[in-house]
A and B are shown apart, each in its own frame.
Chain A
Amino acid sequence: MKHIFISASVGAEGMGNSNNSTQKNLEIDDNPLNKEERHALEAYYQNTFLHENLPSKEKFCCEFASTCYPQFGAACYHYITGNSNQLSFQLFMKFVINGARSNSTKTLQLVWDILAIDQKEQDDELEQQLRVDSFFLLLLELSGCDPEGIQVTAARLGQHVKKMTRRNDSNSMRITSRDLINWTNEYAPHAHKVFVSYINSKCFSAVELIGHVPFRSPILEGGSSVINQSDIVPLALYDITLQGRWKKLYTTQADGLSFNRIAHHILGYSVCLLPVSFDCC
């Protein structure tokens, strides 16, 4: 049996409030986009979504396609356009601002509401659990994670949310957006940056963004026989120092199973280490 453990701590438990939000708040007071960003967004909108000078739903769905959550493009379009079902630059800009130029809570709430578009009943417990699972599937895919292991990791994260938000007063497994946001604040404070980086990479690729630290998916340099990228993305969501390049310092297969070799390869390395063990006993 595999025993896989990672020597990294996680934060304290979060508290959940039952606060179903049905908002599709696209109202903004001030436009946080500067002149350069706005021009870039206009150019992107015109080049990407307009077909014969008319906005195309098909092009939009194609641009925001997702492998793990195939309905994502259509759900986004429906969320933005509402009952009018007609995309406009103003609506799209508001979507971008709420997704990529707001605080973490608004960004995550936006994603939750988009996922709710595809669900029939927001209050249904099963639908909410599916929405949580879909959230993590989307999160892992947009973080640049390899497809291998996404399903398992998403299920694991969903289980953790359910465990942490289990209510003492009932056997209900109802999870609200507030529960999910509280969970991300405690265990994945960089989760919203995945969505922000996703939108920035699409809409502002030609612009130098000042003050925006993108999410960098962790990369196992040289590969691993024990873990895959989807195993460590949750860690990168917790701590920014776990993003980016991971350098393999020691492996039994290349360096031998000996404490002398372990010591040789880790002594003198002045930053954090992360041992991962695979036990077949």
Chain B
Amino acid sequence: MPHGLGMGGSLEKFRLFIPDTLEDCVAHANCLTFESGSLLSPSNSSSPFDLSSPNSGAFSIDVLEIWGCGGEELVNEALTAQMKDRGDRDEMIRKARLVDKAAFANNMFDQEFLLPKNYSHKVRMADASCCEEDKAAAKATNIP
């Protein structure tokens, strides 16, 4: 799937496509979504409103503006929805950044390799108990 902002047409040929690089943007005069008509003024016309022939082509962006419309009520609703969406995303990012240290308490591997300083005493205790067990086992079998 192409990376960018596309409108109308199909995935293979958008009516208007702005790639994520913002270079080599494309506008076509026809598609199955919208009525035919030029989105670009002809390059050889002195008038930006010359509708004499449909025109397709590539262009690059100098200034881009995006406007939200729909009436006062809808605009306010949409802005509220956008704020909520941003809040949700920020919360998700915040949660992803948090480390749940409690989860390490039950995981010997994480304790030893990810938080060695915090849990070094446990490692020493584990080593010490292993040595005691080895000694007890050796005594039982009379190994000097």
Residues on A lying within 8 angstroms of B by beta carbon are 1-5, 7, 9-12, 152, 155-156, 159-160, 163, 218, 220, 224-227, 240-253, 257-259, 262, 265-281
Q: A253-B63, A271-B69, A271-B70 are in contact. List 10 more A-B contacts (CB 8 A).
A: A3-B48, A4-B48, A5-B38, A163-B51, A220-B67, A241-B69, A247-B68, A247-B75, A275-B18, A276-B65
Question: A9-B35, A245-B72, A259-B4 are contacts. A268–B65 as well, Cβ < 8 Å?
Answer: no
Q: Are the C-beta atoms of A273 and B27 separated by less than 8 Å?
A: no
Please report the C-alpha to C-alpha distance between residue A245 and residue B79 in the assembled complex, in whole angstroms.
13
Chain B residues touching A, majority SS: mixed
Q: Are B65 and A160 in contact (CB under 8 A)?
A: no
How near does chain B come to A163, taking the closest CB pair, in angstroms? 6
Does B115 touch A at the CB level, under 8 Å? no
Contact of A279 with B82 in the complex, beta carbons under 8 Å: no
Known A-B contacts A9-B34, A159-B51, A259-B20; A226 and B78 likewise in contact (beta carbons under 8 Å): no
Count of chain A to chain B residue pairs whose CB atoms are closer than 8 Å in the complex: 169
Contact of A240 among B21, B64, B71 (CB under 8 A): B71
Inter-chain contact B66/A278, CB cutoff 8 Å: no
Asked if A252 contacts B61 (CB within 8 A), the reply is yes
| Candidate in A5, A276, A277 with the most chain B CB atoms within 10 angstroms | A277
* Residue contact A245 to B75, C-beta cutoff 8 Å: yes
B59: which of A3, A240, A253, A262 is its contact (CB, 8 Å)? Answer: A3
Partner of A275, one of B60, B64, B77: B64
Q: A83 to chain B: closest CB distance in Å?
A: 42
**Identity of the chain A residue whose Cβ is nearest the Cβ of B73 in the assembled complex:** A244
In the docked arrangement, what's the CA distance between A103 and B86, Å?
A: 46
Known interface pairs A4-B41, A159-B51, A269-B81. Does A278 touch B68 (Cβ–Cβ under 8 Å)?
no
Contact B51 A241 (CB under 8 A): no
Contacts of B37 in A (CB 8 A): 10
Instruction: List A contacts of B39 (CB < 8 A).
Output: 5, 7
**B 7-53 contacts with A by CB, 8 A:** 7-8, 15-16, 18-22, 25, 27, 33-35, 37-41, 43, 48-49, 51
With a cutoff of 8 Å between Cβ atoms, the chain A residues found around residue B71 in the complex are 240-241, 243-245
